[in-house]
Amino acid sequence: MPFKLPKLPYSYQELEPYIDKRTMDIHYNKHHGTYTNNLNKSIAGTNMVDLPIEEILKQEAKNNITIRNNGGGFYNHNIFWEILIPHSKFTPPSTYLNEVFKKNFQSFHHLKNEFSNVALKHFGSGWIWLCIKEYKLTICSTMNQDSPIMCGIGCCEGIPILGLDVWEHAYYLNYQNRRIDYISSFWKIINWKKVEDNYKKLIIK
C-alpha cells in the first residue's frame, strides 16, 4: 500500500498529562489508521498510487468525497503528530520564530490568543491551522478532515505549518467537554523547532 501510518517520534504515554496514553493509542491506531486504510483502498488501481498525498488532495478533494475525507484525515494527522513533543523536551519559540510572529501578529502572545479563540469558537469537528499563504502567516479553521491545501472546496487555503485537531476523539477521554483546557494543554507540547523548519522550507529558497 502506498501510504502508511508515520512512525511517532514519541511513545503513547510521553505526551501525558496533556494527552493521555489511551487517547493517543485510539487516536493514532484506530482513527488515523482507518483514514490511512480507506485512503489506500480508494486509490488502488488508479494513477494516484504514484502521487504524493499533497497532489492527490489538490487534484481530487473537490470532486471525490472519499478522498476528501480519508486523504484529508491521513494528511492532517501526519502534520499533527509531527508538531507535538513531550513537555520534558519542550522549548519555546526561537528568537527567529518570535520575529516572524511579531511581523505577522504583533507578538507570539497575540498569535496564541487568536489561534486559541478560533479553536474555542470552532463549531463541531475540525482543525485549526497556522498556514502560509502568499508568504504571510494566517490562522484559519476547516471542518471535518478538510485541509487548507485542498483546492476549490470553499475553505481557507494555504500551506499548514501547525495544526490542532479539535475533533472530540482527540481529547474527550481526558477533557470531556472542556475544550478550553485541551487547547491550553496544546501550547505546552508544541515542537516549535519542527514548526520553524516547516516555515523555513516554504519561505527560504
Give me the domains of the chain, ranges plus CATH numbers. 20-205 (3.55.40.20)
Provide φ and ψ at 129, rounded to 5°: -125, 145
Residue identified by cell 507578538 is 107
- The pLDDT score that the predictor gives to residue 59 is 93
Residue identified by cell 495544526 is 163
Going residue by residue through the chain, which has 205 residues, state the pLDDT in tens, using 9 for 90 and above: 799 999 999 999 999 999 999 999 999 999 999 999 999 999 999 999 999 999 999 999 999 999 999 999 999 999 999 999 999 999 999 999 999 999 999 999 999 999 999 999 999 999 999 999 989 999 999 999 999 999 888 778 899 999 999 999 999 999 999 999 999 999 999 999 999 999 999 987 5
Contacts within 8 Å (CB) and 24+ apart, 197-205: 198/83, 198/160, 198/161, 198/162, 199/97, 199/100, 199/132, 199/161, 202/132, 202/159, 202/161, 203/132, 203/135
Provide φ and ψ at 20, rounded to 5°: -80, 160
* Chain mean position to CA 141: 11
Bridge partner list, 137:
132
Exposure string over 34-63, b if 16+ CB within 10 A, otherwise e: ebbebbbebbeeeebeebebeebbbebbee
The counts of H helices and E strands in the chain are: 10, 3
CA dist 138 and 132 (Å) reads: 6
What does pTM read for this prediction? 0.96
Q: Of all helices (H) and strands (E), which one includes residue 161?
A: strand 159-165
CA dist 8 and 198 (Å) reads: 17
147 in the Ramachandran plot: left (φ > 0), alpha (ψ -120 to 50) or beta? beta
